Structure 1
């Protein structure tokens, strides 16, 4: 007779985590999503031509556009109309109760004259920093919008450095001929000598005590602005417009509430350094729907501040809906991190398509960030030609190791320890990726309680779990080409695999590694398709893997 097995403390904790996940869903669920308040505007319309604006691509219309916005706001708000044409302008500052409306074939083209952009106090990766004034900005506003079918172009190429390897030979020759300077090795183009010196010298743009904005004048050209920055605003709408060619991040709502981004086209060149599409930072109640993104860095990205400053701000990005979006080029389709020190929670991602991104669902952080990322729900995500991982968690962002696996070090858990937990992903389809699932937590804080169900992943490698706890994968087709192993586990516990399908004649189904690996259950899975059902390496114990046949 086999001995009875009593539930361990770890198992009870796993059940508790699952119970908490189910309980949290009662606050928000797929049938009871967050509500996002919409702005409302008077119908009064002011045409920017009333103030002398000219659509010739030569006249600088900064004053005319800003005057129209100010006058509209003073009169109680309404619509500021940008008619068809090429409208050259410097920085535009939005005001409350104003809808800046761009008609089809209207383009706001921001000037390449960098003297038009003052050095201001801004934010860089979650920390206070000196930046050039954003082409479009607004602060402490309510009821504000940019709508229409026109184009907002940041003229970003004059601001950005670029590596030779990122361009074709003819593009590189054209870039060099346009001016600027080269790095000493001839492999990087900089827009100016000032930019080069700041970059090579690794000069900091962060604002620290005793340093004023004037102290940054010798590196002004290096302080690239984000295209649109809206700070501490309520009831914000961006709809229908194309935002493109940003010097750095494209759209950056910061500490906003009731934010809607609808039917936007966000476009940056593939080589655009920091060319993110949307960075939603410390915002509450937001909707991103029907948008198309093709960018040079992360596409739809969730942030909440960096390290100690982010934790002091203490504003999670929460109560968000991301749906019906398409992402082409980008480092990640939907991304959380790595600046997530204020946390993120109650985010619902569904019915999105990622075509050719580096990663699909991307979660990233590192020791020192802190913050809690939890209650993330994703379903009906369709991917094709993903360069790296379809589903990706990594708590070693930008950390380099001598080997592929992190060292088995376990520093004390503190306020700088990032926590990622309580998530559910359903109906995820990927046709082409290097790896289907990659989860790498920290030895002292595993990635915990991630439920994945109904997956169809055609990839080179199936799944790899490192320092993970309470991961459940159910009804998954892991049709990996490289079949040794289909699933790799290292120093992880309380894992559940139910109904796993994989390629016939696979070399190894499971590779179980590490003496901290325990409590792995596999059921409803056919084993005869694999030459070897399981291998045990690096101190892993065979008794920790329990198979239950169909």
Structure 2
């Protein structure tokens, strides 16, 4: 009896200990979005790195946490020693650790404690000018604060902060600051442009801004050719190139000189619970740019940056096509994007292609664009098999959903007083430099506030094609513009718009389907249909009595192009 009681008692205690842990684990699985929202699709598998338990404290190698001592050699020595011994964990403990560039090594987990900050020096001389990559093209750049190449089994973890001291590197537009902020910035030094609308941090930076294709390592150019404008060639904060089994977890990556996180040609990369943070005025201050990578997971992370939030790339133009490495097999889930040019973005450098993307349970608040897909002639590349579900948006400055093949390299929302002309429409010959957007599936979207609900603009020679937009409620100032598109399908989409004249504009597009479309009662005009190439616009399960006028046909469009039942 005693033995039975003891066994039972031990089991009860063990159960009491395990049940909360099991509940926590179940909750974590639920919150991580492990359930597959994409019916019938098998999600990609991403391998995690594994590390020895051995730990090395950077203090052992002489690092000093006073925010003044330069700890570059001490930190790199600790990482190198750890890797040489077979790997393990290099710990960055309490304190502010001033440092120059850190180079990762295989089998090392750089662990930054919550009360620790890696602060990268403002001293340009600490960063060598090296051969790197910028916006998909080989280019001379300053050495990144954190870098690694041809490595395996690496990680940056913890809950601490990596600060790139980006303000020392960035130019700033006058229109992006208040009067007092601008005055303070100008008084700090630096150089102004002739029109006084741009501040540059140094004379070298200003000179670089005047050089065409500055830093590009093509046509015989070498790193030495750009020494005079070194300050202009801003580094990305973290660049990991051709690495396998990468983990970035828990850390705040902030104040980057250019892009924040840049995995390039990596395989099996996991980004989890990170916070990527840049000032909203930070030019090229992207959150993460996943470029030519295979098998990746980005989850439970937050982005509040100066350019695109979560961005997918694969090289630019001819150089990207020569590389020939698409970004593929990617899961993005449970992420929040605050200020950014785009919440989830593909392009514009997508010349190697983008395939097999799964994006779900993300929230975009105050971004310029929500879902942003951009390219232009010359890129080439095919973007397809894109699956997006359960997206929430609020206070989107521009378009909630945008597909655009006329990207011009400008901010998505014009600054006050800025004039932009619509691109001239011409038909070009289809070549390997012609980009393609096709096979997108977007469902379960709620947007509370945008300038425009949906924008689709393809090329005459290569329409945006095969898009499915299902189950959406979008509140916006204007509805939908669709130009040079083929086989665009909207089902159960509700557009609540301020401007109802028209709700939807269609130009030179074909095979456009609306099933269960809902819109404001009393709308002035439901459809404005234009262009002689427009045909096969099908509308079903939709009431036309809510609109004062059903459709208007202009610029050669035929009334027979609209088919209703």
Report 1:362-441 matches (<5 A). 362-398=372-408, 406-441=423-458
Q: CA RMSD in A?
A: 1.5
Deviation at 1:186?
2.1
Report 1:61-100 matches (<5 A). 61-100=71-110
Q: Structure 1 unaligned runs (5+)?
A: 1-27
Q: Does 1:540 align with 2:554?
A: no
Contact residue 314 and residue 353 of structure 2 kept, 8 A: yes
Report 1:179-190 matches (<5 A). 179-190=189-200
Cα distance in structure 2, aligned partners of 1:431 and 1:307? 36
**Which residue among 520, 524, 528 is the counterpart of 1:507?**
524
Cα distance in structure 2, aligned partners of 1:397 and 1:403? 12
Contact residue 215 and residue 223 of structure 2 kept, 8 A: no
Q: Structure 2 unaligned runs (5+)?
A: 1-37, 411-418
SS at the partner of 2:500? Answer: coil
Deviation at 1:112?
0.5
Q: Does 1:306 align with 2:304?
A: no
Deviates more, 1:209-218 or 1:35-44: 209-218
Cα distance in structure 1, aligned partners of 2:543 and 2:128? 65
Deviates more, 1:180-189 or 1:273-282: 180-189
Deviates more, 1:459-468 or 1:405-414: 405-414
Deviations 1:100-130 (A, max 9, x none): 0000110000000110000000001100000
1:211 aligns with: 221
Cα distance in structure 1, aligned partners of 2:452 and 2:409? 20
Deviates more, 1:34-43 or 1:207-216: 207-216
SS at the partner of 1:471? Answer: strand
Cα distance in structure 2, aligned partners of 1:406 and 1:94? 45
SS at the partner of 1:348? Answer: strand
Q: Does 1:516 align with 2:533?
A: yes
Deviations 1:262-290 (A, max 9, x none): 00000000110100000000000000000
Deviation at 1:406?
4.6
Contact residue 214 and residue 226 of structure 2 kept, 8 A: no
1:236 aligns with: 246
Q: Does 1:277 align with 2:294?
A: no
How many residues align? The count is 521
Contact residue 446 and residue 474 of structure 2 kept, 8 A: yes
Cα distance in structure 2, aligned partners of 1:391 and 1:186? 35
Deviations 1:146-183 (A, max 9, x none): 00000000000010011121111221122112221111
Cα distance in structure 2, aligned partners of 1:237 and 1:260? 5
Deviation at 1:203?
5.5
Indicate how the Cα distance of structure 1 residues 396 and 178 shifts in structure 2: closer, same or farther if over 3 A, else same.
same
Cα distance in structure 1, aligned partners of 2:317 and 2:379? 4
1:143 aligns with: 153
Cα distance in structure 2, aligned partners of 1:126 and 1:461? 35
Q: Does 1:335 align with 2:352?
A: no
Contact residue 202 and residue 231 of structure 2 kept, 8 A: yes
Q: Does 1:265 align with 2:267?
A: no
Deviations 1:227-255 (A, max 9, x none): 00000000000000000000000000000
**Which residue among 472, 475, 484 is the counterpart of 1:467?**
484
Cα distance in structure 2, aligned partners of 1:415 and 1:331? 28
1:115 aligns with: 125
Deviation at 1:478?
0.5
Deviations 1:493-526 (A, max 9, x none): 0110000110011000011000000011000001
2:14 aligns with: none
Contact residue 269 and residue 296 of structure 2 kept, 8 A: yes
Report 1:45-64 matches (<5 A). 45-64=55-74
SS at the partner of 2:479? Answer: strand
SS at the partner of 2:517? Answer: strand
Deviation at 1:209?
3.7
2:299 aligns with: 289
Deviations 1:316-372 (A, max 9, x none): 000000000000000000000000000001000000000000000100000110000
TM-score after normalising by structure 2: 0.91
